[in-house]
Chain A
Amino acid sequence: MKSSEPSIHIPEGLTIGYSDRFHRKQTHLAVAGAPIDLGDGRHLLLARNGRGKTTLLKTIAGIIPSLSGKIRCHGTVQFVDEDLRFDTELKARQIFTALFKNGQRKFALDMAERIELDVEKAYGKLSRGNRQKVGLIIAEARTYHNGPQVLLLDEPFSGLDFAARDKVDQIWRENEEGIVRLVCVHPDEPTLKADSAVTIREGRLEQLEVNGTLDWMETRLSLN
């Protein structure tokens, strides 16, 4: 991979999980049986509840340490948690104004218009789906003219209707150069286009090749 291309490298043997405060007891969630390399494009992260999806994303983001092994990321990392929230009194426009300047701010407002987010409504009065849109817009606007990017998105589509998901999907396709997207979704999500998928199954991290579109039924069955 070129040095200007974003990437995530998960080495063989990397173990994710938790240790207690004094590092006496460790809870292993998953280990990578082979190296996993994620380059430009969209990669899905699939696993059942409690198997370590969010833990993996947080480990890649550097929020929590891995139990063994070291993940390498090239590019500006953003981790947008499913539960990321903002001040309930602020309007989305004010949030974008605080976080972005010029081009990125315009990108955010344009994207808000495309996915039908009311930027003049207080954040606390937005529906769950619309709050999710704020997080998605922030993640996407930050990538605008900002070098190689690594986006870690934890269930970004929860609460979004089909129309909004399609529009976000389209924006991602228009804006895919120079960005690695690792998107955590439930296997119950409708079929999504992807370049590869990372699965957590029976304590193992694996990378699956995907020929453009992931068959969600087959994936769901394999994860059971």
Chain B
Amino acid sequence: MELYKLTLISILNRKTFAIFAILLVALPFALPYMTPWESKPSLLEPARAQMAWVLLWTTAISWLLFQGATIGDRWSSQGLLEYFKTLGVSRPKQLLQIWLSCFTVFAGMILITFVISTFTAMPGDAVEARHWLVTNLQYVMLFFLVVAPLLTLAISLGTRFNGAAAYAVTIGIALYGLFGISYLEVFLADNKNAFLNLVYLVSPHYHLSDLTSRLVFKLGSVPWGELGRIAGYLGGLGLLTTGISYQLYREGK
């Protein structure tokens, strides 16, 4: 696990994660006070949960994927991955160790978000509280199914191209899957276009993992059958993304 340790120590040494960690802790408590909470104090808790999850998505897109892309670029350019190859560390193990080092730090951020959203914004009613806890757990699982493979893709693209290009491609895919598809869906509601329908079908529907509105409007947890279908879809998409990432991964440029 030397590559894991070397990458982790590099991430920790640069300390940029600390800025996002501080924002993840502070902003969910500060920003909800910008809502008209005085007239409706019950807004504070859902706003806090919303802010916590929005910040986590922002951190994933702006920090995690960037780390993966630039580390892949640097390690590949600097001969480090070829060095570990000669020591017998295979491509899958290298990719896993780099992924694990980025996710070790990010896991702490997911935990911060989960704790803030679950325990500092939990409704008082017992039934609602149980749904709240389950919804947050479901959200963590679906979030992981989207972000984990995207990180793998960012790292692999970084080993093959430069870090900026790798990052741009990965966040482009992420943002399209989270938001862009909604615009396509609106367009297709009024326009029957076979090609665009096909594009819609094969697009990555990452927005399915976004349970923020269920928390804000207290809609309750996702029914288990539906959760299973969503998780199955995102898990399959994740496996496909990981497989493509493995093919793209290179030890040297």
A interface list, Cβ under 8 A from B: 58, 61-63, 76-81, 83-87, 89-90, 94-95, 97-99, 152
A89 near B13 (CB under 8 angstroms)?
Answer: yes
The reply to whether B86 and A94 form a contact with Cβ atoms under 8 Å apart is no
The residue in chain A whose Cβ has the minimal distance to the Cβ of B83 is A84
- Are B82 and A78 interface neighbours, CB within 8 A? no
A89 to chain B: which residues have CB within 8 Å? 10, 13-14
* 0/1 string, B1-45, CB within 8 A of A gives 1: 010011011100110000000000000000000000000000000
Q: Which residues of B contact A80 (CB under 8 A)?
A: 83
Asked whether A98 and B2 contact (CB < 8 A) given A77-B87, A87-B13, A89-B13, the answer is: yes
- The contact of A85 among B8, B79, B87, B88, by CB within 8 Å, is B79
Residues of B contacting A99 in the complex (Cβ-Cβ under 8 angstroms): 2, 5-6
A85–B10 Cα gap in the complex (Å)? Answer: 13
A58 contacts across to B, CB distance below 8 A: 82
A-B contact pairs, 13 of them (CB 8 A): A63-B85, A63-B251, A78-B83, A78-B87, A83-B78, A85-B79, A87-B6, A87-B13, A90-B13, A97-B9, A98-B2, A98-B6, A99-B6
Q: Is the interface of B mostly helix, strand, loop or mixed?
A: helix
Binding site for A on B (CB under 8 A): 2, 5-6, 8-10, 13-14, 74, 78-80, 82-83, 85-88, 251-252
CB distance from A102 to the nearest CB of B (A): 14
Q: What A residues does B79 contact at CB under 8 A?
A: 81, 83-85
* Distance to closest chain B CB from A70 (angstroms): 16
Return the contact of B86 from the options A77, A90, A95 (Cβ within 8 A). A77
Most chain B CB within a 10 A radius of its CB, from A62, A63, A77, A89: A63
Pick from B6, B9, B14, B83: contact of A79, CB under 8 Å: B83
Chain B residues contacting A97 (CB-CB under 8 Å) are 5, 9
Complexed CA–CA distance, A29 and B223 (Å):
64
Cα of A87 to Cα of B6 in the assembled complex, Å = 9
Is A98 touching B5 in the complex (CB atoms < 8 A)? yes
**Closest B residue to A62 using CB positions:** B86
Complex alpha-carbon distance, A95 and B5, angstroms: 9
Q: CA A42 – CA B6 in complex, angstroms? A: 30
Closest B residue, CB atoms, query A63 = B82
A81 touches B82 (CB 8 A): yes
Tell me the smallest distance from the CB of B93 to a CB of chain A, in Å. 15
Tell me which of A62, A63, A85, A152 contacts B252 (CB under 8 A). Answer: A63
Residues of B within 8 Å of A90, CB to CB, are 9-10, 13
Give, as a whole number of angstroms, the nearest-CB distance from A107 to chain B.
16
Chain A residue nearest to B2 (CB atoms) is A99
CB distance from A164 to the nearest CB of B (A): 21
- State A8–B219 Cα separation when bound (angstroms): 67
Which B residues lie within 8 Å of A61 (CB)? 82, 85-86
Q: How far is the CA of A94 from the CA of B78 in the complex (A)?
A: 17
